[in-house]
Copies of this chain bind each other. A is one copy, B any other.
């Protein structure tokens, strides 16, 4: 299959690599050109421009940082929408706002292109388009959980998932601060939790980080967490849904940044809770 892949950050690099290994013809593009070079050896074509990458693609995959980057690469002159052939598919894997996802859906639709959102395993779009993307999804190796025909629903679901993760972090942070103040060892406490009702990957992963107070290097920085919570609040506000826990998370992420934790993992929300409880 002729594929275009735009955005070779950590996640994009990994995905593009798997598409090449699966034998697809992949043209890669990245804003910083140097990141493309390593893909030459894997058989990729390197495009000088977005349109150069998208023009002949059956499927173009974008994996970019945020609304600003995606909107620039997809909707501006010479962008993905203008360059893709009618009938081609755009798979957006970036965590962007629901509003931008809706806007892209409309633009692609007008141009006779298909638009699919796939964020981690949450996938949404027209079923025929999803069908055509199966080889791509298979190569990337993630399971595909179809949310429905409207692409932006994949964004809603992904954002809600990140909200749920951050709520786990905050709740664990408060509970660990409380129990530490009573002299309970956090490793033992997390072991207790994750061997009972809370035997889930998210409690194990973040519980371990919190017990270890291991917030550097960051897997997912404070500002990325803040961006996602801002997007979930915006998505909720546009349908008149209050989300009080999300509001609190937003305030705490901002305060943690204000307190100097900008470079730390977003799970340092728990460190913020510990400091507020007077723990060092």
Contacts and interface: CB of A to CB of B under 8 A. Distances in A.
Interface of A: 98, 121-122, 145, 147-148, 150, 152-153, 156-157, 160-161, 163-165, 167-168, 170-172, 174-175, 177-179, 181-184, 188-189, 192-193, 195-203, 230, 232, 235-237, 239-248, 250-252, 254-255, 257-260, 273, 275-279
B276 A189 contact: no
B242 A276 contact: yes
A257 B245 contact: no
A266 to B, nearest CB: 15
B192 A157 contact: yes
Q: Is the interface of A mostly helix, strand, loop or mixed?
A: helix
Given A156-B182, A254-B276, A171 B164 contact: yes
B175 A164 contact: yes
A181 B277 contact: no
Query: How many chain copies does the complex carry?
Result: 4
Contacts of A259: 275-276, 278
A192 B122 contact: yes
Contacts of A163: 171, 174-175
Given A178-B232, A232-B178, A277-B242, A153 B201 contact: no
Contacts of A160: 175, 178-179
Contacts of A255: 242, 276-277
Nearest to A182: B156
Contacts of A184: 147-148, 153, 156-157
A239 B178 CA distance: 8
A259 to B, nearest CB: 7
Contacts of A241: 174, 177-178, 181, 254, 258, 276-278
A161 B153 CA distance: 33
Contacts of A252: 242, 244
A242 B251 contact: yes
Contact of A239 (B172, B182, B232, B248): B182
